[in-house]
Amino acid sequence: MSKQRAASYIKSAIAVTATAVAGSVATDPSTAWYKKLDKPSWQPPSWAFPVAWTALYASIALASGKVLADAKEDDDVVQRGQYKRALALNLALNAGWSYTFFKAQKLGPAAIVAAALAASSSDLAKRAGRSNRKLGWLLTPYAMWTSFATALSTEIWKRNRD
């Protein structure tokens, strides 16, 4: 692997890791506030979230690294720039949901951020798929998980309106 290709993977991994850390810092399911929320029976067990997110973050870093490395190698400045902006927005929404839900304790806005994240994740998967069909499929579970998270976040909001 060339240094240029490796740099794309490393930068993607750093951005995704920073997002994961930011989200983890904001997320605390052990608070009294969170514990007393009325949650649906179909919410996954708490241990499932870090397992799922670890796999999803790895797929985002890998797919994004390859998309960006390929675009750089092909000297496709437009695709590279568009994908970078889409990834940056996606990662900001990703960490933003944790802050909106857990830190600010704003359930309605968190549901809206979750919906924006799901749309952004679907867009990211489509963009990756245009670069390489396998990369689009690699990001499909992310789009599906964030869509599920939107339904879950919305349901928690509905159940806990004051």
For 73-91, the pLDDT digits (tens) are 999 999 999 999 999 999 9
Judge whether residue 30 has pLDDT over 80: yes
pLDDT tens-digit series, residues 109-124: 999 999 999 999 999 9
The one-letter amino acid at 118: A
Distance between CA atoms of 85 and 70, rounded to whole angstroms? 16
Q: What is the DSSP letter of 43?
A: S
Can you give the CATH number for the domain in which 149 is found?
Answer: 1.20.1260.100
Any idea of the CA torsion for 12, 6, 51, 156, to the nearest 10 degrees?
Answer: 10
Judge whether residue 162 has pLDDT over 80: no
For 61, the domain range is: 3-159
Q: What is the mean pLDDT of residues 123-134?
A: 97
User: Going by C-beta distance under 8 Å and a sequence separation of 6 or more, which residues neighbour residue 79?
Assistant: 67, 71, 131
Q: Spell out the alpha helix ranges (H) of 74-106.
A: 77-98
Per-residue pLDDT, 4: 86
Domain count, the chain: 1
Residue 95: which of 59, 61, 139, 57 has the closest Cα?
57
67-105: b (≥16 Cβ within 10 Å) or e? bbbbbbeeeeeebbeebbebbeebbbbbbbbbbbbbeee
Q: What is the mean pLDDT of residues 26-47?
A: 96
Per-residue pLDDT, 126: 98
